[in-house]
Every structure is written in C-alpha cells, then in structure tokens.
Amino acid sequence: MDKADYSYALFFGHLAIEKILKAIYAARFEAHAPPIHNLVKLAKDVGVVLDEPRTEALITVTAFNIEARYPDMKRAFRQKCTPEYTQRQMTMIKELFGWLRSHLP
C-alpha cells in the first residue's frame, strides 16, 4: 500500500488469508494443507462455518490471486485497483484475517 502497488497489495492480502487458513488446517489435522488457492474450499476443509457475507468476501479475495498472477487478467485488474478500491478490500482482508485468527488453537 505504501508503494502504491495496489494490485500486489491485494495479492499479498490473498496470501495472508490463504496462509492462515492453511495454518488452521495444519493445527486441526496435524498435516500439510492441500496445495490449493481457493479460500472458500480451504475454509470448508478446515470446518470454518461461513455465512454469506464471509463466503462472498473469500470469493472476492480468491480472485485477487488469479487476477494478479495471469498476464491477460493483470492489466484489467490493475485498472480496477484504485487507492479507494484497494483500501476497502484491505479493510475486508484485515477483518477476515482477525476472524480466522480466532480459529487457531
């Protein structure tokens, strides 16, 4: 965010959510989490109960992984990542992270 590279900020936000879900998986099952990036699937795999707003938020954040990685999608994604849009999404990511953190033992 400080460097104004908003698409990468959102990409790293996705990684943070993915990694905390995988930490929950490892803690609950004492095994490596599956090598996937779909946050809704990871949440369901670890038994986190999702309401509709959190499901939608995880779907949105999952897209940041896809859109930031693939060249044909990257240009359109970068245009969407205004400072205002990115700040709203980062606020959502921080809320999700805090909520997921409460699921760690």
pLDDT of amino acid 76: 81
pLDDT in tens, 39-67: 999 999 999 999 999 999 999 999 998 76
Tokens of 57: 């938020």
Residue 42 contacts residue 22 (beta carbons within 8 Å):
yes
Tokens of 10: 């959102």
> Residue 20: pLDDT above 60?
yes
Residue 58 contacts residue 39 (beta carbons within 8 Å):
yes
Residue recorded with tokens 């909520």? 99
Domain presence at residue 54: yes
pLDDT of amino acid 68: 56
Domain presence at residue 65: yes
Distance of CA 51 to the CA centre of its chain: 16
Region class of 70: left (phi > 0), else alpha (psi between -120 and 50), else beta: beta
pLDDT in tens, 66-96: 765 677 777 788 889 999 999 999 999 999 9
pLDDT of amino acid 69: 65
What's the domain range around 88?
6-101
pLDDT in tens, 32-42: 999 999 999 99
Close Cβ partners of 63 (under 8 Å, ≥ 6 residues apart): none
φ and ψ of 54, to 5 deg: -75, -35
Q: How many domains does the chain have?
A: 1
Domain presence at residue 1: no
Domain presence at residue 67: yes
> Residue 9: pLDDT above 70?
yes
